[in-house]
């Protein structure tokens, strides 16, 4: 019923006779084992002895053997004779009750199979196995003798000689490292091992690189505002127990320094701390500040870390050696034994919402985790989400405020540029006032930032001769020209093709024209207008990883660049003292489409970007180009009236019964062909719940009607806040048969409506 369920194999262990014998011989205890698979529930097995809930065990399933977790309670219906014995218990630390309850609660809320949630707690499978010794390569006597042979090359090729030379000079090395140093393929090392010129030694596993944070170091002296805020956060930690507190401070007010004080208090109390950040790629400055404050880098957890580090970090967290973990949303599922504090920085950030697989909102689930662990949580932002504002108003969250920027820094002045009144040349995108301010900024030796939330060169490429537009073959989306890499890309599925020299439809050469700006095109305009200015592009597809992004940020701090041009990568977390001008090139971009949070998000994003300006002594300016200067968001940005904007936004949502005043759930039907998708959608529509206070909208083709070749239809379920949607949805889905390639994905509290 849920994603994948329909196609999963029959979960019941099958055999009769084998099970009977096993039972007579060894197995006397029934256990329930939750496997990291999208199955509806835990499966029953037999164990030779009593095994505690939470233990990791290996069990058979069909032809496979899998690692799962012994779950609470006992299975019921199946006779012991039909159960299979488990295979072995793994020596990993047990999954604690608190984390098991968390898995169950997340599964129940998101309507994902519990095993799919469990899988997120087991995302470093190797960590569950006993640490393996390392295999290191050393030169054998035969190898060294062959090296001494003359003339060189008689017994060894030049490449092989190089390998043995590397080993002769230094310590034993892992094969991969050896191949790298000798600049040869892995095959060469393997051949040398087989030939006996190189031999393998076993060494103990590598010690963990994770060092404990030193909370005894003292941070900077806090301002009176900061001290008062820090005091309240520390009080909560000392009081113990669950509490949710919002740290609501303007950009540059020192929110990070302030919550570091809470972190130090939790560490001093002997507890572990989890800090969630939206995108770890942007965490370079954050990491450096942490290192300055606590003497070491924290453990990190995000999609970019390698297998080995993932394994080490998981173990270090489980063993309590990692005292502070900073990570993206998936860090929420790490097995902390002594969790004492959770911090969610930039709590409003939309990337906390996971949209595929298990659809969950990490900020909300972080509050759940803190409450199950009975520890404080701090939500931090300069642009609070409406959900959080309403939770403060309802008294569920406390609030501490930092209303002023730190030291002499002032908040920047914001000015709107009304594009309806400006004359801009064709193919250019900077209106005269913004171009003028840029010139003045460069003149003064200061730095600028241009923000445009669009990757690539142009969002649409079209043939001037025949009107042909480039479309993705598997999505309802235009292809975006990326001039630097010479490709047309689909931003939804990653499909790429080369930009052809002539129109593929009418074959006219030189008729393809880009429409609209992307950051690459903006860079072109800046370098044309200001030939001497050093410009840098900060955009994910041109930066190979977080280190490159950090390098670029460092370049800004060291003033190797005069202007940074970027997408939302530039909006968050950066602190560039000489940056005084921020230009928003197209403020209206995020307002299109039917997203209920469009205005809120636009406010958050543009306010955050603007917050990069004037963070040190020099006053900052923010210029916002818009076609809709009368839009409430634009007015709120210009007058810095966040609270009034939020009130108006809240009133509108309350009126419409939308979150956080009402509940929403999305059902997305998808199938390999349009017929199956429509057929399933119609079946769902016929079975739709008819309950007072519950409205079902749809089915309608999704705005992204085809995504990765799958045809999508959407339902939206709306209800009052007092209604629990999950049982209603469960009942609805149980009455519909899902056939063939069709899948139904449930998204509780959806953020994306595409
Ligand atoms: P926010 O997270 O609220 O945007 P930050 O914590 O990044 O603000 O602080 C902005 C800048 O001010 C940083 O460079 C930070 O090091 C500095 N800062 C903040 N508070 C203090 C303080 N008490 N003493 C010294 N520097 C501070
Ligand atoms: Zn596509």
Q: For ligand 1, pick from 257, 283, 400 the residue to mutate: most ligand atoms within 8 Å of CB.
A: 257
Name the residue of 218, 252, 348, 578 to mutate for ligand 1: max ligand atoms within 8 A of Cβ: 252
Which ligand 1 atom minimizes the distance to the CA of 289? 16
In whole angstroms, how far apart are CA 291 and each of 210, 295, 458, 579? Answer: 13, 5, 40, 24
CA 96, CA 339: separation in Å to the nearest integer?
A: 11
Nearest to 269, CA basis, from 308, 234, 220: 234
Q: Is the Cβ–Cβ distance between 199 and 138 less than 8 Å?
A: yes
Q: Distance between CA atoms of 652 and 658, rounded to whole angstroms?
A: 9
In this predicted structure, what is the pLDDT of residue 383? 92
The finding on whether 251 has its CB within 6 A of some atom of ligand 1 is yes
Report which bound ligand comes closest to the CA of 220: 1
Atom 20 of ligand 1: nearest residue by CA position: 254
Question: Which tokens sit at 650?
Answer: 């809240």
**Residue 312 in tokens:** 């080490």
Identify the three-state secondary structure at position 592.
Answer: coil
- Residue 223 CB less than 6 A away from ligand 1: yes
Secondary structure class of 751 (helix, strand, coil): coil
Judge if the beta carbon of residue 572 lies within 6 A of ligand 1. no
**Side-chain-facing half-sphere of 287: CA atoms under 13 Å:** 17
Six token digits for residue 567: 């997408």
Q: Which residues contact 264 (CB under 8 A, 6 or more apart)?
A: 215, 219, 294
Query: Quick check: CB of 441 below 6 Å from ligand 1?
Result: no
Closest-approaching ligand to the CA atom of 707: 2
Contact 244, 387 (CB under 8 A): no
Closest CA to 330 of 381, 374, 276: 276
Look at the chain and count its residues: 754
Q: Could you tell me if the CB of 350 is within 6 A of ligand 1? A: no
> Does residue 122's CB lie within 6 angstroms of at least one atom of ligand 1?
no
Helices and strands (H and E) in the chain: how many: 21, 29
Cβ contacts of 218 within 8 Å, gap of 6 or more: none
Q: How far is the CA of 450 from the centre of ligand 1 (A)?
A: 23
Burial 103-119 (b: 16+ CB within 10 A, else e): bbbbbebbbbbbbbbbb
- The CB of 406 under 6 Å from ligand 1? The reply is yes
Q: Which ligand 1 atom minimizes the distance to the CA of 611?
A: 4
The Cα 631–Cα 643 span in angstroms is 16
- Ligand located closest to 607 CA: 1
Q: How far apart are CA 264 and CA 219, in angstroms?
A: 10
Distance from the CA of 280 to the center of ligand 1, in angstroms?
19
Q: Report phi then psi at 727, rounded to 5.
A: -65, -35
CA distance 44 to 594: 46
DSSP string over 652-700: HHHHHT-TTSEEEEEEEEEESSHHHHHHHHHHHHHT----TTEEEEEEE
Give the sign of the dihedral formed by CA 26, CA 32, CA 37, CA 38: positive
Kindly identify the ligand whose nearest atom is closest to the C-alpha of 478.
Answer: 2
Ligand 1 pocket: which of 220, 225, 254 to mutate (most atoms within 8 A of CB): 254
- Ligand showing the shortest atom-to-Cα distance for residue 615: 1
Query: Does residue 253's CB lie within 6 angstroms of at least one atom of ligand 1?
Result: yes
User: Which pLDDT belongs to residue 11?
Assistant: 38
Determine how β-strand 662-671 pairs with β-strand 710-720.
antiparallel
Are the beta carbons of 523 and 565 closer than 8 angstroms?
yes
The count of C-alpha atoms lying within 13 angstroms of the C-alpha of 737, restricted to the half-sphere facing its C-beta, is 2
**Tokens found for residue 274:** 């989890």
CB–CB of 325/300 below 8 Å? yes
Å from CA of 696 to ligand 2 middle: 29
CA of 488 to the centre of ligand 2 (A): 11
Q: In sequence order, what are the beta bridge partners of 701?
A: 713
Q: Is 617 in the pocket of ligand 1 (CB under 6 A)?
A: no
Ligand 1 within 6 A of CB of 518: no
Question: Cα 673 to the chain's mean position, in Å?
Answer: 30
The 3-class SS string of 299-361 reads EEECCCCCHHHHHHHHHHHHCCCCCEEEECHHHHHCCCCCEEEEEECCCCCHHHECCCCCCCE
> Residue 412 C-alpha to ligand 1 middle, in angstroms?
16
Segments of the chain with pLDDT less than 50: 1-27, 281
Asked whether 575 lines ligand 1 (CB < 6 A), one says yes
What's the predicted TM-score (pTM) here? 0.84
What is each CA distance from 417 to 584, 586, 669, in whole angstroms? 10, 10, 43
Strand positions, DSSP E, 452-493 = 460-463, 480-482, 487-489
Q: 476, 472, 475: which is closest to 496 by C-alpha? A: 472
707: which residues sit within 8 A by CB, 6+ positions away? 474, 475, 476, 492, 493, 670
């Amino acid at each position: 019923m849920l994603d994948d369920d329909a196609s999963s194999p029959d979960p019941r262990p099958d055999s009769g006779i084998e099970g009977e014998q096993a039972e007579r011989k060894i197995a006397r205890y029934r256990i329930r084992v939750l496997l990291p698979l999208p199955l509806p529930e835990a499966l029953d097995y037999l164990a030779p002895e009593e095994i505690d809930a939470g233990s990791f065990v290996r069990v058979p399933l069909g032809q496979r053997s899998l690692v799962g977790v012994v779950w609470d309670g006992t299975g019921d219906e199946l006779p012991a004779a039909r159960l299979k014995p488990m295979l072995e218990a793994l020596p990993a630390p047990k999954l604690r009750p608190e984390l098991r309850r968390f898995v169950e609660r997340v599964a129940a809320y998101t309507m994902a199979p519990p095993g799919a949630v469990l899988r997120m707690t087991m995302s470093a499978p190797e960590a569950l196995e006993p640490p393996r010794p390392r295999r290191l390569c050393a030169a054998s006597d035969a190898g060294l003798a062959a090296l001494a042979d003359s003339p060189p090359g008689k017994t060894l090729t030049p490449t092989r000689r190089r390998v043995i030379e590397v080993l002769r000079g230094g310590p034993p090395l892992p094969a991969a490292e050896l191949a790298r140093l000798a600049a040869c393929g892995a095959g060469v090392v393997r051949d040398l091992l087989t030939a006996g010129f190189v031999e393998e030694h076993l060494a103990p596993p590598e010690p963990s690189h994770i060092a404990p944070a030193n909370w005894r170091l003292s941070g900077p002296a806090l301002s009176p505002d900061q001290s008062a805020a820090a005091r309240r956060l520390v009080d909560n930690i000392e009081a113990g127990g669950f509490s949710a507190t919002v740290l609501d401070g303007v950009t540059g007010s020192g929110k990070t320094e302030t919550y570091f004080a809470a972190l130090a208090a939790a560490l001093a109390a002997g507890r572990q701390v989890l800090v969630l950040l939206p995108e770890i790629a942007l965490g370079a400055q954050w990491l450096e500040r942490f290192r300055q404050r606590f003497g070491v880098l924290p453990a990190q957890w995000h999609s970019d870390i390698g297998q080995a580090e993932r394994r080490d970090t998981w173990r270090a967290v489980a063993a309590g050696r990692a005292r502070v973990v900073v990570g993206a949303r998936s860090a929420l599922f790490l097995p902390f034994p002594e969790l004492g504090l959770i911090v969610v920085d930039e709590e409003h950030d939309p990337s906390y919402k996971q949209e595929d697989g298990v659809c969950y909102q990490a900020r909300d689930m972080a509050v759940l985790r803190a409450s199950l662990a009975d520890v404080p949580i701090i939500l931090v932002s300069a642009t609070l989400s409406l959900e959080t504002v309403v939770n403060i108003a309802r008294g569920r969250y406390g609030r501490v405020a930092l209303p002023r920027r730190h030291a002499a820094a002032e908040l920047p002045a914001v000015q709107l540029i009304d594009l309806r009144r400006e004359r801009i040349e064709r193919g250019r995108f900077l209106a005269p006032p913004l171009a003028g301010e840029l010139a003045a900024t460069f003149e003064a030796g200061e730095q600028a930032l241009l923000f445009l939330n669009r990757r690539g060169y142009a969002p649409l490429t079209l043939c001037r001769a025949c009107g042909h537009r480039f479309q993705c073959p598997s999505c309802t989306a235009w292809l975006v020209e990326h001039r630097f890499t010479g490709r047309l890309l689909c931003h939804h599925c990653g499909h790429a093709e080369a930009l052809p020299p002539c129109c593929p439809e009418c074959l006219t050469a030189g008729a393809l024209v880009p429409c609209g700006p992307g950051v690459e095109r903006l860079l072109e305009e800046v370098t044309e207008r200001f030939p001497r200015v050093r410009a840098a592009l900060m955009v994910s597809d041109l930066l190979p990883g977080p280190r490159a992004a950090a390098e670029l940020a460092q370049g800004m701090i060291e003033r190797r660049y005069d202007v940074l041009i970027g997408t939302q990568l530039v909006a968050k977390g950066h602190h560039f003292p000489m940056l005084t001008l921020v230009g928003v090139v197209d403020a209206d971009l995020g307002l299109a489409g039917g997203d209920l949070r469009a205005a809120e998000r636009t406010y958050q994003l543009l306010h955050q970007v603007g917050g990069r300006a004037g963070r040190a002594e020099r006053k900052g300016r923010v210029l916002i180009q818009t076609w809709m200067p009368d839009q409430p968001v634009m007015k709120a940005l210009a007058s810095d009236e966040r609270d009034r904007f939020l009130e108006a936004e809240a009133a509108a949502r309350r009126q419409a019964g939308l979150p956080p005043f009402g509940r929403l759930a999305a059902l997305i039907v998808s199938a390999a062909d349009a017929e199956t998708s429509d057929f399933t959608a119609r079946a769902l529509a016929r079975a739709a719940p008819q309950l007072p206070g519950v409205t079902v909208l749809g089915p309608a083709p999704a705005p992204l009607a085809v995504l990765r070749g799958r045809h999508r239809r959407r339902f939206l379920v709306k209800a009052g806040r007092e209604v629990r949607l999950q049982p209603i949805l469960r009942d609805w889905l149980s009455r519909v048969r899902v056939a063939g390639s069709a899948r139904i994905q449930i998204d509780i509290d959806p953020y994306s409506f595409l």
